[in-house]
Amino acid sequence: MTHRPAAWHAATVRSVSRETASARRIEFEVPTWPGNDAGAHLDVRLTAPDGYQASRSYSIASSGDSRRVVLAVDEVPGGEVSPFLVHELQPGDQVEIHGPLGAYFVWTPGDERPVQLIAGGSGVVPLYAMAELHDREQDSTPFRLLYSVRTPDDRFFASELEQIAARGRLEASYVYTRAVPAGWHSAPGRVTRDALAAATWPVDRRPRIYVCGPTPFVETVADWLTELGHEPRAIRTERFGGG
Amino acid sequence: MKLDGNAIAGPLAEVFGRDVTLAVMTCSGCHESAVIARAMVYVTAMGSVARCPTCDRALLVLGPGPGARIRFSMPGVSSLELTPDEPDAA
Ligand SMILES: Cc1cc2nc3c(=O)[nH]c(=O)nc-3n(C[C@H](O)[C@H](O)[C@H](O)COP(=O)(O)OP(=O)(O)OC[C@H]3O[C@@H](n4cnc5c(N)ncnc54)[C@H](O)[C@@H]3O)c2cc1C
Ligand SMILES: [Zn+2]
């Protein structure tokens, strides 16, 4: 892991694009950015004309030495910060960012143990960064993703994840909680303990596990993983909040 | 709102001058140790409290101080272990 000190940086929006019906991808140019590990996050600080400040954490979808920093933000309706980032922020605008942050919830190539990624909703952002780095670096560790999301159209990085899977670099399985594609093998519904056990690496493969998403999702999944016999230390979690 | 120690990595980096999510805290209540990232963090408009994942004791408190200052205390931590570098320790 490269030493990359956390600091405040001025970030200029380079582009914005639709990620899902409720989320947006935002690409920043940050000339002073030291780069970041896959899975790290940053804090975005907004300052209103009257001086009022609000900051929130966002995971970084990009990794490596690039000065380009990619976020994917889901709108929490009525929220203080996310509606602004999703609807108002425009190319050329500047925000302050603090990072890179979070040496715990990162994955670095060169480790033998298989990796299990488990995401709920926007919680896929740091996990996508890990899968993307693993693919780009041609790392040989086997990677699996279990992604729980409302509908197929609500998937973040849907085409990127499909391409990585098509190259044989990721085994991805999806659980749809609100609506399923035609001919899907099951009705919409939440992940169950049995489905979790069936779609993830068995305990004897000793996977490193990363779980990220809404707080109740992360806690339910982490408890089940422990009950299934996974070593608690091998399970890394990141809670995004919400209920 | 309930989060975990990852969510206070930014404010803690202001205090310590670096990322400390892998620093190991020992709880003065139950004497269990855990990395900061694994603490249970409750965020309100008044600031954040990081609680022991084992016994729920308040370990760290972060809040706004006077002016633009940050107020930070460690009411439930008997020791904090930091590595000089940033290896993938935990
Ligand atoms: C380490 C970390 C990484 C994160 N990464 C991402 C990311 O990559 N993409 C992303 O979209 N979000 C991410 N989040 C969540 C993000 O920080 C904000 O919480 C979210 O954007 C809502 O902020 P807000 O100001 O719009 O809402 P607030 O004004 O903070 O909250 C409005 C209301 O919504 C509820 N609420 C707050 N946060 C959430 C939430 N996450 N889900 C559901 N309800 C919520 C609150 O309880 C409150 O009632 C991350 C959070 C953490 C801690
Ligand atoms: Zn304790």
A158/B28 Cα distance (integer angstroms): 46
Comparison of pLDDT for B66 and A5, the residue scoring more: A5
Confidence category of residue B14, pLDDT binned at 50, 70, 90: very high
Measured between beta carbons, the chain A residues lying within 8 angstroms of B43 are 241
Comparison of pLDDT for A96 and B70, the residue scoring more: A96
Confidence category of residue B89, pLDDT binned at 50, 70, 90: very low
Domains of chain A in start order, with CATH, are 7-101 (2.40.30.10), 115-240 (3.40.50.80)
pLDDT at A168: 96
Confidence category of residue A207, pLDDT binned at 50, 70, 90: very high
pLDDT at A222: 98
pLDDT at B65: 81
Residue A1 pLDDT exceeds 80: no
In this predicted model, what pLDDT tens digit does every residue of A20-37 receive, in sequence order?
999 999 999 999 999 999
Question: Residue A108 is which amino acid?
Answer: T
Residue A130 pLDDT exceeds 60: yes
pLDDT at B90: 43
3-class secondary structure, B2: strand
3-class secondary structure, A18: strand
Residue B85 pLDDT exceeds 70: no
Residue A162: phi and psi, rounded to 5, are -65, -40
> Encoding tokens for residue A6?
């956390």
Residue B86 pLDDT exceeds 70: no
B74/B78 Cα distance (integer angstroms): 9
Average pLDDT, chain A: 96
pLDDT at B46: 87
Residue A200 pLDDT exceeds 50: yes
pLDDT at A129: 98
pLDDT at A163: 98
User: Looking at chain A, which residue has its C-alpha nearest residue B43?
Assistant: A241
Range A90-107 average pLDDT: 97
Range B64-77 average pLDDT: 90
Confidence category of residue A159, pLDDT binned at 50, 70, 90: very high
Residue A141 CA, ligand 1 centroid: distance in Å = 32
Residue A39 CA, ligand 1 centroid: distance in Å = 17
pLDDT at B83: 86
Instruction: Output the pTM of the full model.
Output: 0.96
Confidence category of residue A2, pLDDT binned at 50, 70, 90: low
ipTM of the complex: 0.95
In this predicted model, what pLDDT tens digit does every residue of A210-229 receive, in sequence order?
999 999 999 999 999 999 99
Range B15-34 average pLDDT: 96
* A residues 39..98 contacting B (CB < 8 A): 41-43, 55, 57, 98
Confidence category of residue B84, pLDDT binned at 50, 70, 90: confident
Q: Residue B70: beta bridge partners?
A: B64
Q: Residue A144: beta bridge partners?
A: A116, A171
Q: Where are the domains of chain B?
A: 2-78
Which residues have C-beta atoms less than 6 Å from ligand 1?
A 41, 56-59, 72-74, 76, 78-82, 122, 125, 214, 238, 240-242; B 1, 3, 6-7
Containing H/E element for A158? helix A158-166
